[in-house]
Amino acid sequence: MEQDITLKKEGQSLAFLKPLLAKITPKFQKGDLLAWLKKTGITILSITLFLGLWHMGSKALYNKEADFKIEKALTEQGQAAADAERACIESGESSCQPNTLPAPTQVWASLQSLIADHKVITADKAAFAEKMAATNEKLIAQGKNAIVYTGRASFIDIVLTSIKTVFAGFLLALLIAVPIGIIIGLSPTLRSAFNWFIQIFKPVSPVVWYLLVFMIVKTLYIGDNSDNAFVISFISVGLCAMWATLVNTAMGVSSVDKDYINVAKVLKLGTFQKVFKVILPSSLPLIFTGLRITLSVAWMVLIAIELLAQSQGLGLFVWEEFQNGANDSNSKIIVAMFVIGIIGFLLDRLMLTVQNMVSFNKNEGV
């Protein structure tokens, strides 16, 4: 019975690896293989269906815009211009392509071009570092700042910046929300005193948090020309996302089972011992549920905040591509969308695994 529960727990956190694991495990049975085939088959089918619908939809949109362009040329400039327009579109010339929802193939091509671009930029960076090595050494010897590469960032750099921002924000949220949550949870007086504060600030939108942080950080950085976009964005992300952890921690700490409190009293544990040996362990599952929500909220608001803070992350990338309006901009936006989604999913799984590791209640977590 207990064994079953443990197995179930692993199955839950790593369910998406299960088909793969089942394939690797040598002693699988016929039934396993069938189940795996069925599961994988359905997954592949749903992906194919999704891509097919997407392809058809984008094609319809493409045709609609193309027809409109030709029609417009016909009414405004006559038959010859319309024919020229049609020929231009059909030739694949980039200047006259309809700019609409890109097809899956275009998105795939964009992804590859982004990766190729990353390789070019990395090579560039290496060359730059090599070229400047001697000069930089001299500069450092003279006590001056070294010259660093300031060219544009590649897509991979952008993704890494975003992940860095989200983790910095998450850490900030953890450092603020967990201690305050514990203190509020322990004292009913403080809880009611802080309640208005939490209720008012919890629903504030990410944009407003950004503006608030901007006001403060801008003044703190006054006279300093260094780039504070990263600081502003991670603080905004942290403040925005910490509320779930704060509320959950306070709730977990305040709702510890009365039996455990009685045990602590009968054993005559000191306050410190009581908090760290009884109250905190028993509220860990709720705290981690809060942290998991915080991480997903952090990743969600990150995009909007990076856009506003002009931080070199995915949010800014999406916005710049939209403003850019180049031929492959739309497909790059879709690439970014998938990357954001996949990273969000992986972060959530990561938190779930950690949550299951610390949780004594093996049945929790979905």
Partner 1 sequence: MAYLELKNIYKTYGEDENVTEVLSDINLSIEEGEFVAIVGFTGSGKTTLVNLINGLLKPTSGEVLFKGEPVVDTSHERGVIFQNYSLLPWLTVGQNIYMAVKEAFPKESKSVLHERVKDYVSMVSLTPAINKRPKELSGGMRQRVAVARALAMNPEMIIMDEPLGALDALTRGNLQDEILNIWSQDKRTALLITNDVDEGIYMADRIIPLKPGPNATLGPEFKIEIERPRDKTALNDNLNYKKTRNAIIEYLMDIGEERKSVSHTKYVLPEISPKSFVA
Closer residue to partner 1, CB minimum distance, 286 or 334: 286
Number of residues that bind partner 1 (CB under 8 A): 19
Is the four-CA dihedral 330, 332, 334, 336 of positive or negative sign? negative
Residue 255 found at the interface with partner 1 (CB under 8 A): no
Closer residue to partner 1, CB minimum distance, 146 or 263: 263
143: left (phi over 0), alpha (psi -120 to 50) or beta: left
What are the tokens at 264? 């602590």
Given candidates 269, 275, 300, 354, which one binds partner 1 under the rule CB under 8 A?
269
Whole-angstrom CA distances from 23 to 27, 28, 29, 340 are 9, 8, 10, 29
Q: Are 315 and 306 in contact (CB under 8 A)?
A: yes
Which of these ranges, 194-202, 263-271, 307-315, 324-332, lies near partner 1 under the rule CB under 8 A?
Answer: 263-271
Which of these ranges, 58-66, 211-219, 247-255, 261-269, lies near partner 1 under the rule CB under 8 A?
Answer: 261-269
Residue 268 found at the interface with partner 1 (CB under 8 A): yes
Residue 249 CB, shortest distance to partner 1, in Å, is: 17
What are the tokens at 36? 């795996």
Whole-angstrom CA distances from 172 to 69, 179, 286 are 51, 12, 19
135-141 long-range contacts (CB < 8 A, ≥24 apart) are none
Measured CA to CA, the distance from residue 308 to residue 200 in angstroms comes to 23
Task: Please state the separation of Cα 326 from the chain's center in Å.
Answer: 25
Closer residue to partner 1, CB minimum distance, 30 or 268: 268
Which of these ranges, 128-136, 205-213, 324-332, 358-366, lies near partner 1 under the rule CB under 8 A?
Answer: 358-366
Given candidates 86, 191, 277, 349, which one binds partner 1 under the rule CB under 8 A?
277
**Residue list 281-340, contact with partner 1 (CB under 8 A):** 281-282, 284
Given candidates 199, 262, 271, 324, which one binds partner 1 under the rule CB under 8 A?
262
Placement of tokens 């799984």 in the chain: 349
Residues that bind partner 1 (CB under 8 A): 2, 259-260, 262-263, 265-269, 273, 277-278, 281-282, 284, 360-362
